[in-house]
């Protein structure tokens, strides 16, 4: 498979930053107190849901078939080069700036090996899936998506229906199993089985819906590109409204759902963490063409650059929160408002540095060194294809 140079979907790159901001506010509001109004009314942790859907969309946009085993190998090289260098860098930052046991108490050596191999999300134990840099559990899930991607897209146009049905069936089976097992830990006063939203197979539907969304967009992208600007603008704004309503309406929906005697905590947590994917698909499809005013704004250089550093923002923000909780170093900036500004400034600065000196160069060098050169896509093509995934 020779990967042709493809147009960079700049609005989707910028949307990554908005998703990262949602997650940072979700995690930081307990420390600073800012964002509580948003956090109690909107499901801010749905940013992870968006990342998974977008990943499926962008990967299918970039790789629609694999002709040889060498192409599959080069795909795996490119994907690991995308996520593992920053994962390892933040792992080292945790070791350097946080005291042992670097997460929930357990066997640090085993947890480190599991974490570095991106297998932590397969364990139901708190001290594994939240070990070291806790947010890296999502990379373990992403690595599972990468592993299955060549199988998922094989003859996609003829097999998409039963593949999506298998994803749904797997979720139902896993949630039914979790319903009859006691919660392993408590979150917001309710027992939680991490199988419901951290176990990689239970998240596969989000990724598959992203692939389906890209397939739909590719079929209709020419029509969307010919829409009048104001028509496209109204559709894009409507997509944002739909996502906002879903984020706002999930809590009352869950209240009704949980009142049903046959629905357990596992289904509650799955919908709360993973139930936003259809709305995310609509938003991504309508923003991908860059036709309306919102997507044109998101195609500007500053939003795109913020989107490019969003992975680093996601990977480093919680480390800072843990360091500040340990030593109260932000107190030097004064009150909570000044501390919050300092936290964001530091997060953005360090994220840019990680992107500039870890993400980009390590990805390029890894691809050049490990890819099979006879048919490997050039690095610039890989950079374009991975700008938003």
4 falls within a domain: no
Q: Residue 389's Cα: distance from chain center in Å?
A: 8
Q: Is residue 361 part of a domain?
A: yes
What is the pLDDT at residue 258? 67
DSSP, collapsed to helix, strand or coil, labels residue 185 as strand
> C-alpha angle 348/329/85, rounded to 5°?
40
**Residue 2 within any structural domain of the chain:** no
Q: Residue 37: CA atoms inside 13 Å, Cβ hemisphere, count?
A: 1
| pLDDT tens string 81-130 | 999 999 999 999 999 988 877 777 778 889 999 999 999 999 888 888 88
Q: Has residue 374 got a pLDDT over 70?
A: no
pLDDT reported for residue 377: 45
User: pTM for the complete prediction?
Assistant: 0.91
Q: Does some domain include residue 185? A: yes
The residue among 303 and 264 whose pLDDT is bigger is: 303
Q: Retrieve residue 96's tokens.
A: 């350097």
Q: Please state the rounded mean pLDDT for residues 178-195.
A: 67
Q: How many whole angstroms separate alpha carbon 24 and alpha carbon 268?
A: 23
Q: Is residue 1 assigned to a domain? A: no
d(CA 60, CA 66): 11
- Spell out the long-range contacts of 164-173 with Cβ–Cβ below 8 A and sequence spacing 24 or more: 164/205, 164/208, 164/209, 164/212, 167/204, 167/205, 167/208, 168/205, 170/201, 170/202, 170/204, 171/201, 171/202, 171/205, 171/270
User: Is the residue at 304 inside a domain?
Assistant: yes
Q: How much is the mean pLDDT over the chain? A: 87
Averaged pLDDT, 13-37: 91
Helix or strand run (H / E) with residue 92: helix 69-97
**Cβ–Cβ < 8 Å for 247, 222:** no
Q: Across-strand partners of 190?
A: 187
Whether 319 is covered by a domain: the verdict is yes
Q: Grade residue 267 by pLDDT with cuts at 50, 70 and 90.
A: confident
Are 85 and 310 in contact by the 8 Å Cβ rule? The answer is no
Half-sphere exposure (Cβ direction) of 349: Cα atoms closer than 13 Å: 7
**Average of pLDDT values for 307-312?**
97
Total number of domains in the chain: 1
Coil, helix or strand at residue 187: strand
pLDDT surpassing 80 at residue 257: no
Q: What domain range is 367 assigned to?
A: 10-385
Distance CA 221, CA 349 (A): 36
CA–CA gap between residue 364 and residue 78 (Å, rounded): 9
Q: Confirm if 32 and 341 have CB atoms less than 8 A apart.
A: no
Q: Region 231-258: what's the mean pLDDT?
A: 88
């Amino acid at each position: 498979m020779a990967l042709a140079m493809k147009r960079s979907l700049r609005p989707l790159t910028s949307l990554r930053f908005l998703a990262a901001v949602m997650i940072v506010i979700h995690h930081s509001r307990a420390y600073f107190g800012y964002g509580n109004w948003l956090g109690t009314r909107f499901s801010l942790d749905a940013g992870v849901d968006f990342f998974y859907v977008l990943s499926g969309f962008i990967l299918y946009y970039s790789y629609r078939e694999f002709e040889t085993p060498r192409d599959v190998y080069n795909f795996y090289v490119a994907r690991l080069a995308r996520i593992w260098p920053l994962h390892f860098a933040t792992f080292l930052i945790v070791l350097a700036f946080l005291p042992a046991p670097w997460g929930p108490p357990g066997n640090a050596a085993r947890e480190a090996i599991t974490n570095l191999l991106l297998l932590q999300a397969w364990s139901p134990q708190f001290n594994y899936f939240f070990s070291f840099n806790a947010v890296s559990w999502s990379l373990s899930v992403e690595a599972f998506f990468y592993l299955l991607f060549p199988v998922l897209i094989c003859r996609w146009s003829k097999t998409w229906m039963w593949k999506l049905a298998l994803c749904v069936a797997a979720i139902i089976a896993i949630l039914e199993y979790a319903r009859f097992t006691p919660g392993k830990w408590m979150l917001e006063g309710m027992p939680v089985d991490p199988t419901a939203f951290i176990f990689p197979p239970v998240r596969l539907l989000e990724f598959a819906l992203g692939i389906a969304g890209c397939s739909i967009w590719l079929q209709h992208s020419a029509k969307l590109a010919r829409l009048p600007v104001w028509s496209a603008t109204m559709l894009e704004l409507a997509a944002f409204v739909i996502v906002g309503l879903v984020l706002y309406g999930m809590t009352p929906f869950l209240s009704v759902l949980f009142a049903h005697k046959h629905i357990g905590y596992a289904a509650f947590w799955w919908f709360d963490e993973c139930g936003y994917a259809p709305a995310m698909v609509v938003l991504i499809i309508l923003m991908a063409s860059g036709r309306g005013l919102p997507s044109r704004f998101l195609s500007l250089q500053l939003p795109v650059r913020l989107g490019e550093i969003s992975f680093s923002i996601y990977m480093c923000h919680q480390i800072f929160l843990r360091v500040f909780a340990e030593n109260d170093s932000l107190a030097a900036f004064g009150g909570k408002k000044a501390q919050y500004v300092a936290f964001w400034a530091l997060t953005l600065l360090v994220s840019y540095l990680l992107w500039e000196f870890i993400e980009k160069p390590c990805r390029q060098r890894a691809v050049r060194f490990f890819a099979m050169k006879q048919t490997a896509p050039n690095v610039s093509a890989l950079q374009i294809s991975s700008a938003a995934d």
